[in-house]
Amino acid sequence: MKFISTIIGFVLFVLFFGFALKNTQEVDLHFFLHYDLHGPLVLMLLGFFVAGAFLGVLALTPTVFRHRRETNQHKTTITTLQSTALQANAQPQPDSVNTQ
C-alpha cells in the first residue's frame, strides 16, 4: 500500500510540476487604492490556494474547539454515571423482613 501511495504522490508531483512549468507567464493583479502585484501565474495561484486553505482552517477553529469542549463534557458525564452505577451495584439492598 505504501508503494502505491508513493507512486500516486510521484505522479501528482510530476503533474503539478508540469503545470507550473507551463504557466510561467507574468500576470498583473489590480487591488484597491491603485495597488498592483506582478508575478508568475503559478505563484499567484499557489498564493491564493494557501490563503484559502488558511482561511478555511481559521473558519473551522471555533467549531473544532466547541466539539472538543462537548466531548470533554460527555466524557465527564459518562465517568460520573459509571461510578454511580458501580456504587449502586456494589451495595446490595437488604431484604425486607416483615415481623408482624
What range does the domain containing 58 cover? 10-78
Among 1-5, 27-31, 67-71, which range has the highest average pLDDT? 67-71
**Mean pLDDT on 78-94:** 77
Reply yes or no on whether the pLDDT at 43 is more than 80: yes
Q: Which of 82, 61, 59, 79 is nearest to 71 (CA)?
A: 79
Q: With left for phi above 0 and alpha for psi between -120 and 50, is residue 9 left, alpha or beta?
A: alpha
In a domain, residue 3? The reply is no
Q: Is residue 71 included in any domain, yes or no?
A: yes
Number of domains the chain contains: 1
Q: Are 40 and 27 in contact (CB under 8 A)?
A: yes
Classify residue 85: in a domain, yes or no: no
Cα distances from 63 to residues 19, 52, 53, 66, in angstroms, run 35, 18, 16, 5
Residue 63 counted as domain residue: yes
